[in-house]
Every structure is written in C-alpha cells, then in structure tokens.
C-alpha cells in the first residue's frame, strides 16, 4: 500500500509536466494513464520523481529535526541503492548508517537508520582521526599510519574483540579514498573519549587513530545493529571526493522501472 501511495503521489506531482489521460473527478488516474505518463517522462522528470521519493522518506524519518541534512541523506541513500544493485550488499538489508563529518565533533553526527521500519534507531556522537582535525574534521586520508579518517562508502564486515572490546571491521568501497580500511584496521569501536563528559572536560570530543569511535555505553548495541553487510556512509566537505556509488543515472532509471512495474500491477 505504501509503495502504491508513493506512485500516486509521484505521478500527481509530475502530471502537470507530463501529458496524461483525462481523469474522472474524485478518482485516481487509471493504470493506462499511469503508463502513459511514465513512458513519456524525460530523465529529468524521472529524477524529480526519485527526489520526491527520497524527500518523502526523509520527512517520514523526521531527519531534519535530528540534524541530518537532506542532501547528505540523499547521497547515502543513492549509494545504498547502487551498492545493492551491484550485488555488493544484500537486497534485504535495510540498515543505513550516515556520518556527517562536516559537523562539529561536539554534535551528534552519526545516524543509524532502519529504512524498512522508517525509524532512526540511533543518533550519537562519533570521533574522527587525530590528524583529521581538532573540533572539526578537515583533512582525510587513505594512507596507512596517517591517523586520519577516510570518507566515502563502507560495507560493514564481521565483529571481533580487541583492545576496545567488541569492534566491527569495515570494508572501504571507494578506491583511493577508503579502500585501505581493512589494512589500516579502521573499525567501529567504543571509546571513553567519545562522550559528552569528555566534551564538558576538554571542550571537544576526543580523537581516534582514524576509526569512527562511538560512546562505549552504546557501542555494543550499535555494532550489533549495523554488522554483517550494511552500508555506512561518511560524508565530508572534501571537494576531491568522487564515487561511482553516487551515480544517479542507474538509480533513477531503476526507480522509474519500479514505478512502471507497480503501475502494471495496480
């Protein structure tokens, strides 16, 4: 029912741009009219439809109220869809984790989102690497022993117990930006310097050796939630960052195909 509602909303938003068959007052467009509208859509109109879809999800999750910007969420969402389409993440996985390193480390800048249930499961502090910056993350690296954070898309791997307790290995998916994550042992782990108490004492969050470290008291729950092939996106303000997973074209075309298939089934 929700997917059908999205289709009807999308087409109503586009109907003034795309010629469609006449409608009967008080009734939805017919399936034939839906197909007529969809077949006549340009790529720009398909992209608008996709953007409306993402915006609706963003609003349902109340992400603006929780400090996550729509453009950042859309990038993470596009990456998730591309990773699924390429078979790099199971289609059944609905957990998406977003880290926005354009925000101060003194702010809660990690969000764990369940897209299936439309819930934000966690919104927490997260530390960046010691050589990435002081209060804000400003420099990034994929180089071993740089003690810097790496930006881009990751797929979570398996857990293990190390010096920080339960930790989660990350596979960097963006060549040249985070592809050395495994070699560098960039992992999600708990840290006593990633807390409000540390901020109150030192005026800033503590820093890691490059890992996205989270408060110890919630680290186990967070790691258990996002482990085993879910997507984590680390956003930055580095203009040099590019990613194949941010390619809008396949995502938009697949979305339009889904809309067509949904229309046929109505």
The pLDDT tens digits of the residues spanning 160-210 come to: 999 999 999 999 999 999 999 999 999 999 999 999 999 999 999 999 999
Contact between residue 198 and residue 192 where contact means Cβ atoms under 8 Å apart = yes
Q: In what order do the strands lie in the sheet with 95-100?
A: 119-124, 110-114, 95-100, 231-235, 152-162, 165-172, 187-191, 213-215
CA dihedral 250, 255, 256, 260 (to 10 degrees): 130
Per-residue pLDDT, averaged over 71-92, amounts to 97
- What would the two tokens of residue 187 be? 């992992």
Average pLDDT value over all residues in the chain: 88
Q: Give the residue-averaged pLDDT of 237-259.
A: 94
Does the global pTM surpass 0.75?
Answer: yes
Beta strands in 150-230 (DSSP E): 152-162, 165-172, 187-191, 213-215
- Of 23-27, 28-32, 34-38, the poorest mean pLDDT is in 23-27
**CA 218 vs CA 92, 96, 194, 214, 233: distances in Å:** 25, 17, 11, 7, 19
Nearest to 31 by CA among 4, 2, 1: 4
pLDDT digits (tens, 9 = 90+) for 39-52: 678 899 999 999 99
Question: Span 120-138, mean pLDDT?
Answer: 97
Q: Quick one: pLDDT at residue 257? A: 86
Average pLDDT over residues 235-245: 97
Apex 217 CA angle, 94 and 177, nearest 5: 55
């Amino acid at each position: 029912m929700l997917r059908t509602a999205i289709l009807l909303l999308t087409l109503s938003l586009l109907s003034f741009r795309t010629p469609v068959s006449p409608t009967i007052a008080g009734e939805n467009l017919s399936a034939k009219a839906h197909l007529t509208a969809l077949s006549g859509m340009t790529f720009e109109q398909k992209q608008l439809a996709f953007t409306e879809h993402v915006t609706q999800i963003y609003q349902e999750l109340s992400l603006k109220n929780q400090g996550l910007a729509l453009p950042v969420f859309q990038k993470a969402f596009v990456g998730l869809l591309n990773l699924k389409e390429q078979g790099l993440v199971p289609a059944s996985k609905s957990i998406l984790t977003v880290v926005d390193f354009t925000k101060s480390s003194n702010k809660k800048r990690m969000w764990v989102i369940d897209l299936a249930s439309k819930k934000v499961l966690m919104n927490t502090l997260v530390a960046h690497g010691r050589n990435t910056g002081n209060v804000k993350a400003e420099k990034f690296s994929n180089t071993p022993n740089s003690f810097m954070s790496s930006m881009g898309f990751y797929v979570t791997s398996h857990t293990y117990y190390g010096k920080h307790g339960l930790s989660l290995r990350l596979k960097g998916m963006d060549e040249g930006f985070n592809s050395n994550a495994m070699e560098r042992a960039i992992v999600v782990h708990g840290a006593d310097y990633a807390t409000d108490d540390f901020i109150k004492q030192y005026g800033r969050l503590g820093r890691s050796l490059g890992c996205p470290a989270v408060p110890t008291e919630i680290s186990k729950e967070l790691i258990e939630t996002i482990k085993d092939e879910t997507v984590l996106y680390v956003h930055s303000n580095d203009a040099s960052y590019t990613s194949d997973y941010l390619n809008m074209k396949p995502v938009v075309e697949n979305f339009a195909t889904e809309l067509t298939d949904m229309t046929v089934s109505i």
